[in-house]
Amino acid sequence: MASDTDFDAKNGIVDGPTPPHTELAALYKQSFAYYTFRVRLPSTLATIADSLVKDKDVLLATYGAAAEADIEQTTKEVRQLRDDILSNGPLLPFGENDSDSKVWNAFLEQLPKEKSTYFSTCWLYAECYMYRKISSIFRATAHMAGYDYFSQQKQTATKLSVDAMLAVAKATRHNERNSDTFRQLIKLNLWGNRCDLSITSGKQVKPTGNAFDQVTDLEEKLLIDGTAEVWKALDGASGEGIVDIIFDNAGYELYTDLILAEYIIDKGLAAKVRLNPKAIPWFISDVMEHDYHWTLQFLADHPDPVLSEVGKKWQRLTTEGKFELSPLEHFWTSPYEFYRMPEVNQPLYDRLKEAQLVIFKGDLNYRKLLGDFSWDSTESFETCLRGFRPSNLCTLRTIKADLICGLGAGVADQLFAKDKEWMLTGEYGVIQFASK
């Protein structure tokens, strides 16, 4: 890897923070985007390539001896992708004829030439492009097109969470329909978002301690709390409606998503919870459809009767259509910010309009709601949504990227005085709501 000094000089890197009211980009050396493309994402790619070599025998047993050439080819191309990022290569069009390739290529064509490399373009676009590029490497193979190269990490994360899951299950089997219980569960779900493998470049994070005690302990870390408005949007409705959850991470967070979804159904707050997974392996730990089914089966097969009953109940709710996996939408794995949904995917926007509430989980969904843009920290959530208002919507996000909105005057300055990296640690969270 070229030294930072040589690389920065060659690529016009600005030695400073991201200026106000501009796109977040790795062009700014003091940004998290720069660190992401110099360190975090190359590490993620190295892990994928190394695991293909390490797990070769298992892969051959699964996909057959003919997959050996695929393993060699994908290993080589993933390493090449890492080199392309480290040399600030261009975002090239995709060669496949898949429907999402056309969407991606149309998007890439309209990027200005001076903003068409990993470090010069918007962070959101470049990071999404990298994960889509990994997918295209595997999709091009003869035998491994359906391989989820993050699956093992997601399953390990789930297994590490069993103690926390069991404690949550025992505490939630006989709860009441009221705003206090709902507040506990939505905050449980918020802090479940701390377990994010993309932030740790795949290193496991085991949830520990009593989850509900942590909800209380973390109250001072919750910078914006729109829970009362979210509750009102549910409690004041007929109970016949739909709630959409736009998933983030598999593992413990998915489990807390479904604890919240179960409560919404059991207490008559909605008739159906629609669950929106990703269509391709995404940001290491994002939920795909097979992760959902694997998790429910893992729980149903668990020797502990409480967890087993939870798994079987959720399978039953899925069969009955009260938990509904939405049709796969490549929009969730596109580079587009959500305010552009009506122009890019009107049917999806129309579907979200059917919901009485849409819950967006996690940091990447937050980035897509706001766009990777250095808003003033005090700017209103509604302004930053730029017209994206299909329904009542809320975002549950632990803060792991350097953008935020909706804070009170002076709050960001106080947090920076305490810890200059407060926006990157996942230590702080927000529950933000915007009515339809």
Predicted pLDDT at 97: 80
Please list the residues that pair with 23 across neighbouring strands. 373
- CB proximity list for 330: less than 8 A, separation 6 or greater: 99, 100, 103, 279, 280
Q: Please check the confidence at residue 2 and state whether its pLDDT lies above 80.
A: no
Q: Copy the structure tokens of residue 296.
A: 């429910």
Q: What is the pLDDT at residue 203?
A: 66
Q: Going by C-beta distance under 8 Å and a sequence separation of 6 or more, which residues neighbour residue 22?
A: 373, 374
Q: How many residues does the chain have?
A: 436
pLDDT-derived band at 200 (thresholds 50, 70, 90) equals low
- Give the pLDDT confidence score for residue 198 in this predicted structure: 53
* Distance separating alpha carbons of residues 205 and 96, to the nearest angstrom: 36
Cα distance between the two ends of the chain: 49
Distance CA 23, CA 8 (A): 19
DSSP state of 367: H
Q: Could you identify the residue written with the tokens 């996996």?
A: 325
Backbone phi, psi, residue 41, to 5°: -70, -40
Is the predicted pLDDT of residue 50 greater than 80, yes or no?
yes
Structure token pair of residue 38: 């110099």
Q: Which two tokens stand for residue 276?
A: 């929106």
Least confident range from 40-54, 91-105, 219-233, 398-412: namely 91-105
pLDDT tier at 202 (50, 70, 90 boundaries)? low
For CATH 1.20.930.60, the residue range(s) in the chain are 4-140
Q: Return the percentage of the chain with pLDDT > 70, whole number.
A: 97
The predicted-structure confidence for 211-246, as pLDDT tens digits, reads as follows 888 888 899 999 999 999 999 999 999 999 999 999
The order of strands in the sheet holding 242-246 is: 222-225, 429-434, 393-398, 357-361, 242-246, 272-276, 323-325
What DSSP state is assigned to residue 37? I
Q: Is the pLDDT of residue 197 over 70?
A: no
Per-residue model confidence (pLDDT) at position 206: 73
The amino acid that residue 49 corresponds to is A
Q: What is the pLDDT of residue 207?
A: 75
Helices (H), 193-251: 211-217, 227-235
Report the half-sphere exposure of 280 (CA within 13 A, side-chain side): 22
Inform me whether the pLDDT recorded for 257 exceeds 60: yes
State pLDDT tens for residues 262-287.
999 999 999 999 999 999 999 999 99
CA distance 88 to 95: 21
Task: Identify the pLDDT of residue 196.
Answer: 59
**pLDDT at position 15:** 96
**CA distances for 262 relative to 38, 179, 290, angstroms:** 41, 16, 20
SS3 call for 423:
coil
- Residue 195 in this model has a pLDDT that exceeds 90: no
CB 197 within 8 A of CB 204: yes
Task: Return mean pLDDT, the chain.
Answer: 95
pLDDT band at 3 (very low <50, low <70, confident <90, very high): confident
Please state the rounded mean pLDDT for residues 387-391: 98
Residue 75 above 90 pLDDT? yes
Both tokens of 250, joined, read 């598999």
Q: Where in the chain is the domain with CATH 3.40.50.10880?
A: 150-434
- Listed in order, strand segments (DSSP E) in 170-220 are none
In this predicted structure, the answer to whether residue 318 has a pLDDT above a threshold of 80 is yes
CATH code linked to domain 150-434: 3.40.50.10880
**CATH number of the domain at 4-140, out of 3.40.50.720, 1.20.930.60, 1.10.1040.10, 3.40.630.180?**
1.20.930.60
